Chain A
Amino acid sequence: MMNLSSYTKAFALMLSVGLVAGCSTTGENTDDGMGGGSDVQAIDQNGGSTVYGGDSQGGVSATEMTDEEKQAAAEKAKQAALRDVTTFYFDFDTSEIKPEAREVLVAHARYLADHPNQNVRLEGHSDERGTKEYNLALGERRANAVKQFLIVNGASRGQIETVSYGEEKPAVMGSNESAWAQNRRVELIYK
């Protein structure tokens, strides 16, 4: 549930990047201007020059360059948007990373690989059910699962610090399935 809003945010960000790119080309390509209904289209439809350096470089090659750059910028924006998601959820008494978290975690791992001086803290949490000490260990296991995933995808061990709070710091108060689902989590915090 929580992931949804974060993904929506990421999606909106990607969309806005696409629209910015689209708008900059409308002067030359009026017919297609309204066609940018999705982020994919907005990125793909632009064959002409864009604000991203069209002036500094002339000719065909310039168009190709800007395309690449544009794609890189869009990709960068997409990655940044993915990295807006910093909370990862788990099922009861498990520390398995959910499939929907993978793309986001890969984005964080790449960013860490590209920024060796950047460190993160992973805070593992559980819901309130069960015993406090077991939950402390469970929170750590979740944080370690995320840590391992980041390392496998390019981050280095030294960049990552983990801590478990067990059930002590719920994100949401309440004793119901929705609250529990939001509390079983790892939070990734850039330091």
Chain B
Amino acid sequence: MTDRNRTGNRRLAWSALLVLMTIASAAKAELLIRITEGADSAIPVAVVPFAETGNLPADNNVSRIVRDDLTMSGEFRTLAPEKMLSLPSRREDVYFRDWKILGQRYVLVGELKKNADRVVARYELFDVNRQERILGETASASVNSVRSLAHHISDKVYEAITGVKGAFSTRLAYVTLETVNGKSRYRLQVSDVDGQRASIRLESGEPILSPAWSPDGKKLAYVSFETGKPVIFVHELATGKRTKVADYPGLNSAPAWSPDGRYLLMTLSRDGNAEIYRKDLQTGDLRRVTNHWAIDTEAMYDNTGDGLFFTSDRSGGPQIYRMDSLGAEPRRITFGSRYNARPRPGPDGRYVYYVHQRDGAFHIARTDLKSGQETILTRTGSDESPSLSPNGRMLIYATKQDGKGVLTVISVDGGAAFSLPASEGEVREPAWGPITQ
């Protein structure tokens, strides 16, 4: 029995600013995290500040990053260090009774050491009720990658408690838009999931849309208007090398990778109107997947990798359809309102998430594919571009705050939300990257 089942009750709880704007200039850390909602039912965890020995880098605040990661998942409530009765760093100093008095379920302790050019973390996680160690590890990273080390610890702690793989070491891709003197600057950026270590991968005066991570996390496919029309590129992140993979007459849009990374689903209108195609990236072969006078677009492979979900307005307005295999007869999935689009299947195959219009507002909703039951997950009103974390526990989407585009992350069970507004301009089109270790 895992504790993640405890989440559920939604309540507007608290509003706080986690100031995570550290890292220096070049990183252009453009996203600020703002927790907008906390979950009442979150699991209480104490992350004790790690003991430090040796000459550690200035931004080594590993325990703080772990605390922030766990909080933003919406599944945990972390204890502020000033409320702790002691600051142990190893088992013999952990007094379970003290942590119990403080209402804590788990305690994480550890220490950091510098070893040549690496930072070494030794840490242990304890179950307070059982007075047992449930996790212990020594991990290290280069002095320049202390944040990676911290996210790794967050992943381990998350998995030890919930039984689900953590997604804190993954990355986000997104597009920012800044307009200065009437000139638009679109920037495709990649950052950690907390918005830190952002780097610009492409800058253009014309729109950039629909970034999609390759399954190995090494490439991004996206739509760029840099040539005056929508064209699909594949961009190797390590080298910056870009390849045009679709530049046919008309639309070239909505790229989505196959689970093995060999194929790209895409929307093309080369044969008259928007249809879904599959391109073999090795051979260049193009296979047409849909054939209908309606708009067919926003295709995404399902979790089996055989079938796909897509948006079609063949019934009169956009709705979600599913094909069990490429070219099979599409089945309509959504019926709850006149506008349902951009399907994003969850990794366990149980749910499909999408943009849903109700009473004139656009929300993110999901349908349980077994029961057909539909649940609306967001309460903001201009929501689009949902993207799931690879463990299926969190969902990031684009919305508007005071007329400006921001990204919001929610727990899929409705536990909590935090937003990632761009410090300048707008941010949109989030894509959550895969787990790659």
Residues of A whose CB lies within 8 Å of any CB of B are 93, 128-134, 136-138, 140-141, 144, 162-166, 168-169, 174-175
* Residue pair B384, A162 in contact (C-beta under 8 Å): no
Q: In the assembled complex, which residues on chain B have CB atoms less than 8 Å from the CB atom of A144? A: 273
Tell me, rounded to whole Å, the shortest Cβ–Cβ distance linking B185 to chain A. Answer: 13
B400's nearest neighbour on chain A, judged by CB, is A175
Q: In the assembled complex, which residues on chain A have CB atoms less than 8 Å from the CB atom of B228? A: 163
Residues of B whose CB lies within 8 Å of any CB of A are 207, 209-210, 225, 228-230, 250-251, 253-254, 267, 269, 273-274, 295, 297-298, 311, 313, 317-318, 339, 341-342, 355, 357, 362, 382, 384-385, 400, 403, 429
Q: In the assembled complex, which residues on chain A have CB atoms less than 8 Å from the CB atom of B229? A: 163
| Cα(A128)–Cα(B313), bound, Å | 18
10 A-B pairs (CB sep. < 8 Å): A129-B357, A131-B342, A132-B210, A133-B209, A136-B254, A136-B297, A137-B253, A137-B269, A166-B209, A168-B209
* Residue pair A130, B341 in contact (C-beta under 8 Å): yes
* Residue pair A165, B400 in contact (C-beta under 8 Å): no
* Residue pair B295, A137 in contact (C-beta under 8 Å): yes
| Cα(A67)–Cα(B18), bound, Å | 79
Q: In the assembled complex, which residues on chain A have CB atoms less than 8 Å from the CB atom of B317? A: 93
* Residue pair B384, A137 in contact (C-beta under 8 Å): no
Most chain B Cβ neighbours within 10 Å, of A93, A131, A166: A131
Check A136/B251 contact, CB under 8 A, given A130-B318, A131-B355, A169-B207.
yes
* Residue pair A137, B297 in contact (C-beta under 8 Å): yes
Q: In the assembled complex, which residues on chain B have CB atoms less than 8 Å from the CB atom of A175? A: 382, 400, 403
* Residue pair B355, A130 in contact (C-beta under 8 Å): yes
Tell me, rounded to whole Å, the shortest Cβ–Cβ distance linking A157 to chain B. Answer: 12
Tell me, rounded to whole Å, the shortest Cβ–Cβ distance linking A176 to chain B. Answer: 10
Tell me, rounded to whole Å, the shortest Cβ–Cβ distance linking B165 to chain A. Answer: 29
Tell me, rounded to whole Å, the shortest Cβ–Cβ distance linking B166 to chain A. Answer: 29
* Residue pair B429, A137 in contact (C-beta under 8 Å): no
Known: A132-B384, A137-B253, A164-B251; 17 extra A-B contacts, CB below 8 A, are: A129-B357, A129-B382, A130-B341, A130-B355, A131-B355, A131-B384, A132-B385, A132-B429, A133-B209, A133-B297, A134-B313, A136-B253, A136-B267, A140-B250, A162-B250, A163-B228, A175-B382
Q: In the assembled complex, which residues on chain B have CB atoms less than 8 Å from the CB atom of A133? A: 209-210, 253-254, 267, 297-298, 311, 341-342
B272's nearest neighbour on chain A, judged by CB, is A144
Q: In the assembled complex, which residues on chain A have CB atoms less than 8 Å from the CB atom of B253? A: 133, 136-137
Q: In the assembled complex, which residues on chain B have CB atoms less than 8 Å from the CB atom of A134? A: 295, 297-298, 311, 313, 318, 341-342
Tell me, rounded to whole Å, the shortest Cβ–Cβ distance linking A130 to chain B. Answer: 6
* Residue pair A140, B251 in contact (C-beta under 8 Å): yes
Check A130/B295 contact, CB under 8 A, given A136-B209, A140-B269, A169-B207.
no
Most chain A Cβ neighbours within 10 Å, of B207, B382, B385, B400: B207
| Cα(A136)–Cα(B210), bound, Å | 11
- Report the 3 A-B pairs with minimum CB-CB distance, sorted nearest first: A137-B274, A168-B207, A137-B295
Check A93/B384 contact, CB under 8 A, given A131-B298, A165-B225.
no
Tell me, rounded to whole Å, the shortest Cβ–Cβ distance linking A145 to chain B. Answer: 11
Q: In the assembled complex, which residues on chain A have CB atoms less than 8 Å from the CB atom of B382? A: 128-129, 175
Tell me, rounded to whole Å, the shortest Cβ–Cβ distance linking B290 to chain A. Answer: 12
